[in-house]
Structure 1
Amino acid sequence: MREKNARDYWAANLRLIFSYLVVWFVVSYGFGILLVDQLNAIQFFGFKLGFWFAQQGSIYVFLILITMYAHSMNKLDKKFDVDEQ
């Protein structure tokens, strides 16, 4: 049973990592490069939104994702009883 628990934990960890990487990719590459022309039609704090995502928005989202990942991993660790006590 312990090996199955370890496999389930690792599978849940990989799903979590993949989902956060997808969000990071969409924000940094999608919003900052692919959709920059469409987003530049929108103003955000006096800047074109596409420019803002390319320069700062993707960094802010990355920092938020790091925080969310740490929180999610703590919950996952508790769920699989591998948390630090």
Structure 2
Amino acid sequence: MAEGANDKDYATGENERGYWRANIRLLVTLMSIWFLVSFGAGILFRDFLDQWSLGGYPLGFWFAQQGSIYVFIALIVIYVRQMRKIEKRFGLDGE
């Protein structure tokens, strides 16, 4: 009896580790994208991006003022959708 419980605990532990591994991987990916867009495009690569314009404004300025906000909202939507898939894959979707 103890052996069966131990197997279940092991499976649950592996499931939890897999869930958190997928969750952290998603967070690191999305936060890296956000960093590249907000800090990279808005500050580091601003001079290069200012060669082009969007809506009459230099592209680097646009990313610093508007683009990073739009990307952040898109990343929130992507996070929610991906977390639903991850939760479903690991049986944590509440169904």
User: Which interval holds the TM-score relative to the shorter structure?
Assistant: over 0.9
Q: Percent identity over the alignment?
A: 48
User: Which residue in the other structure is 1:48 paired with?
Assistant: 58
Find out whether 1:83 has 2:93 as its counterpart. Answer: yes
- CA offset at residue 84 of structure 1? 2.7
For the aligned residue pairs, the C-alpha RMSD in angstroms reads 0.6
Runs of 4+ in 1 over 2 A off after TM superposition: none
The residue correspondences of 1:1-85 to structure 2 (distance < 5 A) are 1-85=11-95
Q: Which has the larger radius of gyration?
A: 2
Number of residue pairs aligned between Structure 1 and Structure 2: 85
Gaps of 5+ in 1: none
User: Which residue in the other structure is 2:4 paired with?
Assistant: none
TM-score computed with the length of structure 2 as normaliser: 0.87
